[in-house]
Amino acid sequence: MPMPEDGTTMMRPDVIIDVTGNACPVPIMRTLIALNKMKKGQILAVITDHPPSLKSIPEGIGERGHEHVNTEELNGYKKPTWRVLVRKLHE
C-alpha cells in the first residue's frame, strides 16, 4: 500500500476495503457492511478516490457511534486518493 503523503506513521488496520472508482453512496455502504462484520475495537481502512466520501464516511460512521481515527492522502495513485481509518466502537 502506498505511504501517506504527509509521512505520518501508518496505523495497521485489521481490515482494508478499496472503494476507488466508486461514487456515493457505495463507499459509505461498503464501509458500514465491513464494520458489521468486524469486532469491537478493530480498525477499518477505507481507500477512496471520491472526495465527497471524505465527509460522508466520517459522518455516517459517527452517526452510528463509531470513531473516525484520521484521513490521510496517499501517494502512488493516478488521481488523488485517501485512506480513511475507522475504529469500530461497539458490536
Point out the residues that are catalytic.
24
Please classify residue 24 by burial: count the beta carbons closer than 10 Å to its beta carbon, then call 0-12 exposed, 13-18 middle and 19+ buried: middle
Nearest by Cα to 40 from 20, 22, 62, 65: 65
Residue 13: partners with Cβ closer than 8 Å, 6 or more residues away: 43, 44, 45, 85
Distance separating alpha carbons of residues 2 and 35, to the nearest angstrom: 23
